[in-house]
A and B are shown apart, each in its own frame.
Chain A
Amino acid sequence: MDLVELRQRIHAIELGESTGRTAKQPLLTFGVDAIDNILPWGGLPLGSLHEVVASQAQHASFCAALLGRMKSTGHAGGIVWCSKQPLYTLGLHAFGLSPEQFIFVEPKSDKEALWVLEEALSAPGLLAVVGEGVSLTPQIGRRLQLAAKQSGVVAFLLLDAKARHSEHVAVTRWQVQPLPSGNAPGRFADDGVGHTRFELSLVRCRGAVVPQMWSMEWNAEDLSFNLFSREHLRQTVRTARAVG
């Protein structure tokens, strides 16, 4: 049994689930040890809900980076993107995604949006379901989580930083803030725009020590995440305690 499985079993015991489960949880690895090792599953678990909090549409690019990473690690399928307006899909190439993969849905109300998410989460062949600007109550969150678990489809909820969301609905919650990019690769001038960089924080996660923060870069050529700072693990001033 390898380390990842062992870690998952310990996590399962911690959560009080049955230990008879031997099936390996499908997950998305960041490809960055610093993050993967912090997460109890060894990566981001598929078949569950995750929240991304950001302002100024940063969450769309982080989400796209996650989806690009999923695609490059062998997962395939369509993506249902539920929001007030569609993305400019030509910008997806920087994340290794293609416009044909995206199905946009524009619901007229929150109620419709939630119905769309639940319906999409019951279609097993999808790569992911993304809901932008949808507010959930814990009950609805639990329903969506159940639907995701049954179908194995991962759901990303993109939330605006300005809005209040204290309810803990998803399995993990991330926060994204932009950072200045590094030097542009292979350029003579040093003022060209480099790879996208952002400050990634893990704000909520069961069975993990939170909050955690990393300075990350998305390399559009390799389609991979990289750390670029040496102090990539910053403990908070408060006493770290496991949330669960």
Chain B
Amino acid sequence: MYGRAALDGKAVLRSHVGRSMRSMLLLDVTGCTHLFGGTSSMLQDVARELHAKSYAVRCVVAPTAALARALSLALPAGAQPMLVAENELLAAVRALPIGALEVPGESIDFLLHLGFVRVGELLRLPRKQLLARFGMGLLNALDALVGERSSALAMLTDEQVWVREDNLLEPIRSVDLLLVAVEHMLAPLCKALEAEKKGVEELAVQFTLLDRRKKTLRISSAKATVEVRRLMRLLELKCAKESHNLFNVSAMDGGVERVAVKATRVGTLEQRQIALDHKEEQMSAKLPTLIDALSNRLSHDAVFQMLPVQSYIPERALTKSHDFSKLPDGLPGTEKPAHVGARPLHMFAAPEPIVALALLPDHAPVRFRWRSKMVSVVKADGPERIAPEWWREQVGGVAAAADETRDYFVVEDEHGMRYWIFRAEPTLEWFLHGVF
């Protein structure tokens, strides 16, 4: 288990990592050692890397897994990495203490009681006698040590890859038929995912053409889903969008002969609550579907919410959110914070400087000029003071702009148009920040 993280660089070894005891890692390095400059240098590398990661390790390389295991247990802590060559196998096995045998504790005690000290003494005895006195277990352990019997390692498997692929009986050139084939493969995939309470977040469908070229369609869903109909709809939309470069006749050539459907990203399936009122469930289920359809057809960035954030600085008080975790569900939303003044529906990306004429320090302007338009102020509300948030880091950009204290006013002209303006504190300049 620990080995997965520790052996990042050793891709060759990764495929042969065996499951083992709590603090032991068994690796089958048959045939790989030359890639690392020989067994001994590989061993040194491994030991050094693990040591660098603050693991105190005892490393052993041996011709048999059982011997490696036994030796690593028998080695004292902090010992040098040990390498047992082919011709040294028997000698090493004979030198092993009885306690290193992979047999139950009572058998070890029994053997010690009988006076055996090293495994070599056991090896000299006839097999029949060993079998009669100590049972098959001891014989198996001895055979594993010596190499007469292979000890298969229980391999760690990769995380389950959710993919279904199939060859088509006949090459297909029609997009509709291809989608039917995809749906046939998607259904069991989704079923398998659902059984594990997982859902598709990203799906990739790969078509292999007769001339070995591959074309891939990708779709994504905001929420993990196993609804085949919904995924098919997203695929249809994507097909329509990319039809010109994916499925025109010349691109298709002989047709598609192999289809692979892979869930490239899976997530946990949200438990769907069974609403007592089915209408509500129907309503709330449609919104994520709609959002997915819109995101996939337009682009992920084009569909979003503007959600409030804990900040009084107007530029920072909203954030663009693409994850739609807070969807309207018919319940009343956030209440307006009581002590915050009126806010406009339209805010400019950057405040526009205006030339204003104001009588006294705390009064709104009587007149101001914006973009060569003269505005006479008839009514005004304010000031609402927004001070910089000293507890936040000043990172520059927006933060730098919000370094200033601002006094905001809501002003109305003689026609009824309303403007949101402010006066920046240190410079006493006026700006227009939005319109109502």
| Assembly CA distance A177 to B291 (angstroms) | 34
Near B by CB (< 8 A), chain A positions 118-139 give 119-120, 123-127
| Assembly CA distance A82 to B217 (angstroms) | 27
State whether the Cβ of B271 lies closer than 8 Å to any Cβ in chain A.
no
Near B by CB (< 8 A), chain A positions 33-91 give 56-57, 60-61, 64, 76-80, 86-91
State whether the Cβ of B412 lies closer than 8 Å to any Cβ in chain A.
yes
Is there contact, CB below 8 Å, between A181 and B306?
no
State whether the Cβ of B410 lies closer than 8 Å to any Cβ in chain A.
yes
Q: How many A-B pairs fall under 8 Å by CB?
A: 164
| Assembly CA distance A79 to B333 (angstroms) | 13
Is there contact, CB below 8 Å, between B306 and A89?
yes
Known contacts A86-B306, A88-B344, A123-B289; A107 and B417 CB within 8 A of each other? no
| Assembly CA distance A62 to B381 (angstroms) | 21
State whether the Cβ of B1 lies closer than 8 Å to any Cβ in chain A.
no
Is there contact, CB below 8 Å, between A125 and B284?
yes
Which residue of chain A has the shortest Cβ distance to B317 in the bound complex?
Answer: A90
Is there contact, CB below 8 Å, between A57 and B282?
no
Chain A residues in 8 Å Cβ range of B58: none
State whether the Cβ of B199 lies closer than 8 Å to any Cβ in chain A.
no
Chain B residues in 8 Å Cβ range of A115: 297
State whether the Cβ of A173 lies closer than 8 Å to any Cβ in chain B.
no
State whether the Cβ of A92 lies closer than 8 Å to any Cβ in chain B.
yes
| Assembly CA distance A115 to B342 (angstroms) | 35
Chain A residues in 8 Å Cβ range of B110: none
State whether the Cβ of A207 lies closer than 8 Å to any Cβ in chain B.
no
State whether the Cβ of B386 lies closer than 8 Å to any Cβ in chain A.
no
Contact of A88 among B289, B293, B345 (CB under 8 A): B345
Contact of A87 among B287, B327, B346, B379 (CB under 8 A): B346
Which residue of chain A has the shortest Cβ distance to B304 in the bound complex?
Answer: A104
Is there contact, CB below 8 Å, between B332 and A107?
no
Contact of A93 among B343, B416, B435 (CB under 8 A): B343
Near B by CB (< 8 A), chain A positions 171-192 give 178-181, 184, 191-192
Chain A residues in 8 Å Cβ range of B381: 184, 192-193
Known contacts A104-B306, A119-B293, A192-B379; A57 and B414 CB within 8 A of each other? no
Is there contact, CB below 8 Å, between A112 and B333?
no
Is there contact, CB below 8 Å, between A125 and B307?
no
Chain B nearest CB from A179 CB (Å) reads: 5
Known contacts A179-B416, A193-B380; A123 and B435 CB within 8 A of each other? no
State whether the Cβ of B347 lies closer than 8 Å to any Cβ in chain A.
yes
Can you list, as one digit per residue, whether each of B385-414 has a CB less than 8 Å from chain A (1) or not (0)?
A: 000000000000000000000000011101
Chain A residues in 8 Å Cβ range of B410: 193
Chain B residues in 8 Å Cβ range of A105: 294, 298, 302-303
State whether the Cβ of A14 lies closer than 8 Å to any Cβ in chain B.
no
State whether the Cβ of A98 lies closer than 8 Å to any Cβ in chain B.
yes
Chain A nearest CB from B166 CB (Å) reads: 32
Chain A nearest CB from B366 CB (Å) reads: 11
Is there contact, CB below 8 Å, between B435 and A99?
no
Chain B residues in 8 Å Cβ range of A98: 328, 332-334
Is there contact, CB below 8 Å, between B302 and A107?
yes
Chain B nearest CB from A184 CB (Å) reads: 7
Is there contact, CB below 8 Å, between B379 and A76?
no
Is there contact, CB below 8 Å, between A125 and B282?
yes
Can you list, as one digit per residue, whether each of B349-379 has a CB less than 8 Å from chain A (1) or not (0)?
A: 0000000000000000000000000000011
Q: Which of A3-11, A17-25, A159-167, A194-202 contacts B (4 or more CB under 8 A)?
A: A194-202
Chain B nearest CB from A171 CB (Å) reads: 23
Chain A nearest CB from B369 CB (Å) reads: 17
Chain A residues in 8 Å Cβ range of B212: none
Is there contact, CB below 8 Å, between B418 and A107?
no
| Assembly CA distance A50 to B345 (angstroms) | 21
Is there contact, CB below 8 Å, between A103 and B344?
no
| Assembly CA distance A218 to B305 (angstroms) | 26
Is there contact, CB below 8 Å, between B378 and A191?
yes
Known contacts A88-B347, A98-B333, A100-B334; A61 and B436 CB within 8 A of each other? yes
| Assembly CA distance A143 to B346 (angstroms) | 31
Contact of A91 among B289, B294, B334, B344 (CB under 8 A): B344
Known contacts A61-B436, A88-B346, A112-B298; A56 and B417 CB within 8 A of each other? yes
State whether the Cβ of A102 lies closer than 8 Å to any Cβ in chain B.
yes
Chain A nearest CB from B235 CB (Å) reads: 16
State whether the Cβ of A116 lies closer than 8 Å to any Cβ in chain B.
yes
State whether the Cβ of B244 lies closer than 8 Å to any Cβ in chain A.
no
State whether the Cβ of B278 lies closer than 8 Å to any Cβ in chain A.
no
State whether the Cβ of A230 lies closer than 8 Å to any Cβ in chain B.
no
Chain A residues in 8 Å Cβ range of B304: 86, 103-104
State whether the Cβ of A27 lies closer than 8 Å to any Cβ in chain B.
no
Is there contact, CB below 8 Å, between A124 and B282?
yes
Chain A nearest CB from B199 CB (Å) reads: 21
State whether the Cβ of A108 lies closer than 8 Å to any Cβ in chain B.
yes
Contact of A100 among B283, B328, B336, B417 (CB under 8 A): B328
Known contacts A89-B308, A98-B333, A101-B333; A60 and B345 CB within 8 A of each other? yes
State whether the Cβ of B255 lies closer than 8 Å to any Cβ in chain A.
no
Most buried by B among A101, A107, A108: A101
Known contacts A56-B435, A61-B436, A181-B379; A193 and B412 CB within 8 A of each other? yes
A-B contact pairs, 27 of them (CB 8 A): A76-B330, A77-B283, A80-B290, A88-B318, A88-B344, A88-B345, A88-B347, A89-B306, A91-B342, A91-B344, A93-B336, A99-B306, A99-B333, A100-B305, A101-B333, A104-B305, A105-B302, A107-B302, A119-B293, A124-B283, A126-B287, A180-B416, A184-B381, A191-B380, A193-B379, A193-B412, A193-B418
Residues of A with Cβ closer than 8 Å to B? 56-57, 60-61, 64, 76-80, 86-94, 97-108, 112, 115-116, 119-120, 123-127, 178-181, 184, 191-194, 196-198
Given contacts A86-B304, A98-B334, A119-B293, 13 further A-B contacts (CB under 8 A): A56-B417, A57-B435, A80-B290, A86-B306, A88-B345, A89-B306, A100-B305, A119-B294, A123-B287, A123-B290, A125-B283, A192-B381, A198-B416
